[in-house]
Chain A
C-alpha cells in the first residue's frame, strides 16, 4: 500500500496496476482494450483512484460495442469532475450518439450526459435534449424527461430559459404511460427543489391525464403518479370521489409500495367524500393492509409502522384482524416489537382473551427486550379495557411467580399503573412485596415503593419495608430516592405513630446529604408542609388527596403531528414517526446550505494545506462540534485527504449521534419508553398529580380543596414538571439542545 502511494506521487508510473491498465487501454487489440476497461471499473469499485487513466479511457469512447460504451460512460460519470477540461473531448461522441439510429444508444447518450456534472457539458446539452424530448421512441423520450430534472439540478437558469419545463408539462399528455410517469417524476423533483417554478401544478386537465395513465403504467410509475395525487388538494367533492374511485383498484396491486401509495391517496382524499362512501373505502383498504403483513420483513416493517399511524387515526379499521399480527417465532425483533404495539391498539372487549394468552406466551421467550415489551403490553391492555383488568392482573401474578428477574421487575412497574387506574387489587400487595429483594432496577424499585406508600395503611409491615430503603437512601438512584421520600411521608401521615423517626431520618438524608436539587427541594417542601402547625390537616389534604385515575398508557402521537405524518405515509417520516425536518437536511435552503458552503471552504483549505486545517479543526473541535463533523463526513467526501483529527473525532461523535438520529428501534425506546415512564413519574412524584401528569388531564374537576390549596397545587405541579425533565439540571440546558447550538456555531462560518 505504502509503496503504491509513493509511486503514485510520480507523474508516470513505469510498473504497477495503473501502468498495466494504461497499456491495456491503448492496446491495438479491441478485446484487450475492453478487458482493461473492465478492470479499471473493478478498481474503481474497490475504491482505488483510477482517475489518472481518464485520457486513455476516453480514447475508447467511440466504439460500436454497446457494452464497452456503457463501461466508458460509467467511468466518465465517476471521474468527469476530476478532468473537467478533458470532458469536452467526449462531447462530440455524446452529440453523435444522441442522433444514432438505435434508440437504446440515443437514450444512453442523453442519460449519461445528464450525469456528467461539468459546466462545459451543460452548454452542449441543450440541442440533444431538445431533440430527444421530441424523439419518436418513447424509450428515448422517457429518458430525456428525467434528464430535464438532472439539468435543472445543474443549471436551473438554462432549464427555464430554454423552455424545457413547458415541454415537460406538455409531456404529461404523452400517449405513452411510461413517458407520462417520468415527466411527472421530473416535474415533481423540480417542484420540490424549487417550488417557485410551479413546475407541477395539478389542474383538472392534468388530473384527468394522470388518472388515465395510472392504469397502464409500470408499477414504479404508478407510485410516482399516486404520490403526486396524494399531494394534490382538491376542494371539489366530485373530484375527490373520482380520485378515490380510480385509485382504489390499485389496492390489489402486487407491489406493496403501490398498495401503500394508493392507501395514502384514498385516505387523504376520503375526507372530502360523504361519510358512507368513505366508510366503504376504509373497509376496502383493510384486507390489503393485512396482506402487507405477510411480505418480506423489511417491507413488513414499513407497513406495520404505517398501520400504526392509520390505527391512531382510525382505531377500528383492523378490529377483526388481531391474529394476523401474532408474532412468528422467527420474525426479526423490529417486526415483533411493532406487532406488539399494533395488537394492543386493536385490542377490544371481544378479542382481549386471545391476545392475553398470546402475550403470556411471549413473556416466556428468551429475548429480554421482547419479553419486557410483552409484559408492558399486558398492562396496557388492562388499562385500556376495564373488563380485561382482572385477567391481566392474574396473568401478571403468574409471571411474577416464574421468578425470572426481568419479568418480575417489568410486571411490578406495570401493576403500579394498574393500581393507578383501578381500585380493589390491594390483595396482591403481599405477593409483590415478596419480590422486594429481586428488584435492582430503579424503575421497578420506585414502582414498588410507590405502591407501599400509597397503600401504607393496608400493609402492616410498611414501616419495616420502607425502613430498609431509608437505610440505603444515598445509594439509590434519584428516581427511587424521590419515591422513598414520598412514600415515607405518606406513611407518616397515615400512621404517624409508626413513622415518626423514619420521616425525620429520610428528610435529614435528603436535605443534608444529598446534592440532587430535585430530591432536596422536594424534601424541603415536605418538611415545611409537615412543620406547619397552623392547620394540621394541610399536609394530609395535599399529600393524600385523591388523584384522578389515569386513562391510558398506550403511547399516541400528538394530533397535529399525526395529521402531518398521515400525509407522509410510506415515507421514512412515517417509519420514524417524526416530521421529515427532524432527520433530513433542508437540502439547498437555509442553514444547511450555509453549513455546506462553510464545510466546502474548509475542505478546500484542507486540500491546500492539510496541516493548518488539521490544527484549525483541532482548535474548533470542541464538544458540540463533533456531531457536525459526522455529518460532514456523510455529506462530503474528503477524497482521502481529510485531516486525521476530523476523522478521529467522527468516530467518537458517531456513537453520540446514534442516540440522536439512530434507528427507529434505538430511537424508539426513548420514544415509547420515556414518555410513559416519565408520565408515571410525574404522577408519582407529583402527589399533586393533577397538573403533573398529562395523561390524567382528562377534564376531571380539580380536587375540592380550598383556594390556597389549589394555588399550592399548581405551583407544585409546575415545579414537578420542570424537575422531571432534568434530573440533573446544570448540564441539561446544554445537553438537550446540542444540535441547535451546533447549527448556530456553524452558521457563523
Chain B
C-alpha cells in the first residue's frame, strides 16, 4: 500500500523520511519538493508522476506526504494522514515543525508501529500511549514482559480500545453534545442551506467493562417505541445552569420539544453497528477517558441562533457604507460568548470608521475585513454596527467580489437541531451506580451571509 511517509517543512526541508517498501527512494523527496512545495500552481492534493503518487495534506506549517506506487486506496491514504496529525497532536500538543524536529525519534517509532509494510495498523492514540512513550507520556511497563503481553493482548483484541482493569472510586460519565451549525444565506435573506454537524463527545470514568446504552430524541427511534411514555419534562435534562444538568439514573424522559430527524450518524468503533442498524439502539463498551462517541447530521428544523441583516452600499468608487444588524434568536436566559462577526471590505480599502452599539470593532487590513467582537450576547437582544470604508482609487477598477460575511460564536445549553439526550444507561456486572452529566453547546460551523 503506502510506500513511504515523508514530512516536510514549508521551506521544503525533509524532516521525516520513512520508507516502508523497497520502491520508496530518497530521491522522491526532491521530486516532491520541486513539484509541489515550490510550485505555486498546485491545485490538487494528489499528484501522480510516472507511477509514483504523492498524496499530501498540510497541517500547521508542515506537509505530510504519503508515497504510493500502485492504484492505492486514496480515501484510506488521506484518512491515515489525518490520523497521523491527530496522533501528533495527542502526543505533542501541537503538531508542527518544531514538534517534529524535537521528537523525530518518537515519530519514527510511531510510524514503525502504525504502519507495517505500508499497511495501517492500530492508530488509536490511547492504545499507542501505553507502549510508545515520551517524557510527556510515561509508563514504565514496556520492559516488563508480563505487562507488555497484556498490552499487546489489548492492542489487538476485540476491545482494543479499553483496558480490562479500570477502577474508579466514583463512577462518572460526562456527555458533551457539540453542534456546528452551518448556514448559507443569500443576499435577499433566504436560507440557501442550513444544517447541523453534531458531535457527541463522552468522557467516561467507569470501572470494569461497562456496557452502555445511549438514547436520543431521534425520531426513528421514538416512532419505534411508542411504549415509552412521557416522563419528566425535557428541561430536567438540560436545566441547571452552565455546568450541565444531571441525567436521572436511567430514567426515561421524553423530549417535550419533539423529536429530531438525524440524516446520518457515524459512530466510534466501539459502537455495535449491527444493533444500530437493526433497531437503532446505540450500545457500546466505552474506551476509558475522552472519546468521540458519534457524529451526526441534521438538516430539518434547524434553529438558527443568530439572524444577521447586513446592508452594504457602494457609493461611487470611493466609499462603502455598512449597516449590520444582528439579533439573537434564543431564550433570554441563555447567552452566547465570543461572538465574532467578520465583515469583508474591498481590497483597496484605505481607512475605515466604525460605530457599534455593543462590543468592539476593528479593521484588519491583512484579512480585508472589519472584525466585530461581542464577548457576551444575551438572548433576544439586537445590536447594530455602522461602518464606512474609504477606498483608494485604482487604475484598473475591478468589481468587488463581495465575499460573504461570516460569524463565529459559541452558545451553551442550546442545540440548533433540537437534539436531546434522553438517557445513558450503564450496565456492569458489579452493578454500581454511576453519575452522568450532559452539556449542550452550539458553535458556528461555516455561518455565512451574503450581501
Hey, which bits of chain A sit against chain B, CB under 8 A?
38, 41-42, 45-47, 64, 66-67, 70-71, 74, 77-78, 100-104, 107, 111, 114-115, 117, 137-140, 142-143, 146, 149-150, 153, 176-179, 182, 185, 189, 215-216, 218-220, 223-224, 227, 246, 248-250, 252-257, 259-261, 287-288, 290-291, 294, 296-299, 301-303, 306, 323-324, 326, 328-330, 332-334, 354, 357-358, 361, 364-366, 402, 404, 568, 570-576, 580, 583-585, 587, 592, 630-631, 633-638, 651, 654, 657, 661-666
Q: Please report the C-alpha to C-alpha distance between residue A246 and residue B79 in the assembled complex, in whole angstroms.
A: 23
| A218 & B119 in contact (Cβ 8 Å cutoff) | no
Interfacial chain A residues near B35, Cβ < 8 Å: 654
Q: For the complex, is B348 an interface residue (Cβ under 8 Å from A)?
A: no
Contact for A354 among B29, B151, B192, B404, CB less than 8 A: B192
Interfacial chain A residues near B55, Cβ < 8 Å: 298
Closest Cβ of chain A to B34, distance in Å, is 8
Output the residue of B42, B51, B80, B446 with the most chain A CB within 10 A: B51
Q: Please report the C-alpha to C-alpha distance between residue A70 and residue B402 in the assembled complex, in whole angstroms.
A: 55
Known: A218-B269, A220-B123. A257 touches B76 (CB 8 A): yes
Query: Considering the complex, which residues of chain B in the window 273-293 have a beta carbon less than 8 Å from any beta carbon of chain A?
Result: 273-274, 276-277, 292
Known: A329-B404, A587-B70, A631-B50. A637 touches B82 (CB 8 A): no
Known: A103-B148, A323-B192, A633-B31. A572 touches B53 (CB 8 A): yes
Per-position 1/0 for B86-115, Cβ under 8 A of A: 000000000000000000110011001000
Q: For the complex, is B17 an interface residue (Cβ under 8 Å from A)?
A: yes
Closest partner residue, chain B, to A46 (CB atom): B14
| A580 & B49 in contact (Cβ 8 Å cutoff) | no
Q: Please report the C-alpha to C-alpha distance between residue A192 and residue B201 in the assembled complex, in whole angstroms.
A: 41
| A71 & B184 in contact (Cβ 8 Å cutoff) | no
Q: Please report the C-alpha to C-alpha distance between residue A584 and residue B157 in the assembled complex, in whole angstroms.
A: 36
Closest partner residue, chain B, to A636 (CB atom): B25
Closest partner residue, chain B, to A328 (CB atom): B446
| B119 & A146 in contact (Cβ 8 Å cutoff) | yes
Q: Please report the C-alpha to C-alpha distance between residue A627 and residue B131 in the assembled complex, in whole angstroms.
A: 47
Interfacial chain B residues near A67, Cβ < 8 Å: 105, 109
Q: Please report the C-alpha to C-alpha distance between residue A635 and residue B116 in the assembled complex, in whole angstroms.
A: 21
| B152 & A254 in contact (Cβ 8 Å cutoff) | no
Closest partner residue, chain A, to B107 (CB atom): A45
Contact for A102 among B17, B43, B145, CB less than 8 A: B145
Known: A45-B14, A252-B276, A661-B50. A257 touches B75 (CB 8 A): yes
| A575 & B74 in contact (Cβ 8 Å cutoff) | yes
Interfacial chain B residues near A333, Cβ < 8 Å: 43
Closest Cβ of chain A to B368, distance in Å, is 12
Interfacial chain B residues near A323, Cβ < 8 Å: 192-193, 195, 299
Closest partner residue, chain A, to B197 (CB atom): A294
Closest partner residue, chain A, to B22 (CB atom): A117
Q: For the complex, is B250 an interface residue (Cβ under 8 Å from A)?
A: no
Contact for A70 among B13, B112, B192, B292, CB less than 8 A: B112
| B149 & A298 in contact (Cβ 8 Å cutoff) | no
Known: A326-B184, A571-B72. A218 touches B122 (CB 8 A): yes
Q: Please report the C-alpha to C-alpha distance between residue A296 and residue B55 in the assembled complex, in whole angstroms.
A: 14
| A329 & B403 in contact (Cβ 8 Å cutoff) | yes
| B72 & A572 in contact (Cβ 8 Å cutoff) | yes
Q: For the complex, is B128 an interface residue (Cβ under 8 Å from A)?
A: no
| A249 & B273 in contact (Cβ 8 Å cutoff) | yes
Q: Please report the C-alpha to C-alpha distance between residue A146 and residue B123 in the assembled complex, in whole angstroms.
A: 17
Contact for A45 among B16, B28, B51, B186, CB less than 8 A: B16
Q: Please report the C-alpha to C-alpha distance between residue A259 and residue B292 in the assembled complex, in whole angstroms.
A: 17
Closest Cβ of chain B to A90, distance in Å, is 17
Contact for A290 among B50, B149, B263, CB less than 8 A: B263
Closest Cβ of chain A to B271, distance in Å, is 8
Q: Please report the C-alpha to C-alpha distance between residue A354 and residue B191 in the assembled complex, in whole angstroms.
A: 11
Closest Cβ of chain A to B97, distance in Å, is 14
| B184 & A38 in contact (Cβ 8 Å cutoff) | no
Q: Please report the C-alpha to C-alpha distance between residue A143 and residue B184 in the assembled complex, in whole angstroms.
A: 49
Interfacial chain B residues near A223, Cβ < 8 Å: 73, 76
| A571 & B73 in contact (Cβ 8 Å cutoff) | yes
Q: Please report the C-alpha to C-alpha distance between residue A634 and residue B55 in the assembled complex, in whole angstroms.
A: 15
Known: A218-B160, A302-B74, A663-B43. A572 touches B48 (CB 8 A): yes
Q: For the complex, is B450 an interface residue (Cβ under 8 Å from A)?
A: yes
The range of chain B's interface size is 35 or more
Per-position 1/0 for B434-451, Cβ under 8 A of A: 000000000000101010
Q: For the complex, is B15 an interface residue (Cβ under 8 Å from A)?
A: yes
| A583 & B48 in contact (Cβ 8 Å cutoff) | yes
Known A585-B69, A634-B28; further 4 A-B contacts with Cβ < 8 A: A77-B19, A102-B144, A117-B22, A583-B48
Query: Considering the complex, which residues of chain B in the window 360-387 have a beta carbon less than 8 Å from any beta carbon of chain A?
Result: none
Output the residue of A143, A150, A572, A635 with the most chain B CB within 10 A: A572
Interfacial chain A residues near B160, Cβ < 8 Å: 178, 218
Per-position 1/0 for B34-45, Cβ under 8 A of A: 110000001111
Contact for A635 among B50, B81, B294, CB less than 8 A: B50
| B74 & A71 in contact (Cβ 8 Å cutoff) | no
| B273 & A250 in contact (Cβ 8 Å cutoff) | yes
Looking at chain A's contact residues, the main secondary structure is helix
| B153 & A638 in contact (Cβ 8 Å cutoff) | no
| B156 & A303 in contact (Cβ 8 Å cutoff) | no
Q: Please report the C-alpha to C-alpha distance between residue A218 and residue B160 in the assembled complex, in whole angstroms.
A: 8
Contact for B274 among A74, A215, A402, CB less than 8 A: A215
Closest Cβ of chain B to A327, distance in Å, is 9
Q: For the complex, is B253 an interface residue (Cβ under 8 Å from A)?
A: no
Closest partner residue, chain A, to B53 (CB atom): A572
| B399 & A138 in contact (Cβ 8 Å cutoff) | no
| B105 & A256 in contact (Cβ 8 Å cutoff) | no
Q: Please report the C-alpha to C-alpha distance between residue A182 and residue B118 in the assembled complex, in whole angstroms.
A: 12
| B79 & A583 in contact (Cβ 8 Å cutoff) | no
| B75 & A299 in contact (Cβ 8 Å cutoff) | yes
Closest Cβ of chain A to B189, distance in Å, is 13
Q: Please report the C-alpha to C-alpha distance between residue A66 and residue B295 in the assembled complex, in whole angstroms.
A: 38
Output the residue of B123, B292, B297 with the most chain A CB within 10 A: B297
| B116 & A111 in contact (Cβ 8 Å cutoff) | yes
Q: Please report the C-alpha to C-alpha distance between residue A254 and residue B267 in the assembled complex, in whole angstroms.
A: 5
| B152 & A103 in contact (Cβ 8 Å cutoff) | yes
| A224 & B119 in contact (Cβ 8 Å cutoff) | yes
Q: Please report the C-alpha to C-alpha distance between residue A585 and residue B38 in the assembled complex, in whole angstroms.
A: 26
Interfacial chain B residues near A137, Cβ < 8 Å: 149, 152-153
Known: A146-B116, A252-B277. A138 touches B52 (CB 8 A): no
Q: Please report the C-alpha to C-alpha distance between residue A107 and residue B149 in the assembled complex, in whole angstroms.
A: 11
Contact for A176 among B72, B124, B157, CB less than 8 A: B157
Q: Please report the C-alpha to C-alpha distance between residue A636 and residue B52 in the assembled complex, in whole angstroms.
A: 11
The 6 closest A-B pairs by CB, nearest first: A139-B152, A663-B44, A637-B25, A287-B264, A585-B51, A580-B71
Closest Cβ of chain A to B4, distance in Å, is 12
| B403 & A291 in contact (Cβ 8 Å cutoff) | no
Closest partner residue, chain A, to B268 (CB atom): A254
Interfacial chain B residues near A139, Cβ < 8 Å: 152-153, 155-156
| A630 & B75 in contact (Cβ 8 Å cutoff) | no
A-B contact pairs, 19 of them (CB 8 A): A46-B13, A47-B14, A70-B112, A104-B148, A104-B152, A114-B117, A139-B153, A176-B157, A220-B121, A223-B76, A254-B292, A257-B76, A298-B81, A570-B76, A574-B74, A575-B46, A583-B71, A584-B70, A585-B50
| A361 & B450 in contact (Cβ 8 Å cutoff) | yes
Closest Cβ of chain B to A72, distance in Å, is 12
Contact for A630 among B43, B50, B450, CB less than 8 A: B50
Closest Cβ of chain A to B286, distance in Å, is 14
Q: Please report the C-alpha to C-alpha distance between residue A71 and residue B112 in the assembled complex, in whole angstroms.
A: 10
Interfacial chain B residues near A146, Cβ < 8 Å: 116-117, 119
| A256 & B75 in contact (Cβ 8 Å cutoff) | yes
Q: For the complex, is B27 an interface residue (Cβ under 8 Å from A)?
A: yes
Interfacial chain B residues near A585, Cβ < 8 Å: 50-51, 69
| A665 & B43 in contact (Cβ 8 Å cutoff) | yes
Closest Cβ of chain A to B159, distance in Å, is 9
Per-position 1/0 for B6-24, Cβ under 8 A of A: 0000000111110100110
Q: Please report the C-alpha to C-alpha distance between residue A298 and residue B59 in the assembled complex, in whole angstroms.
A: 12
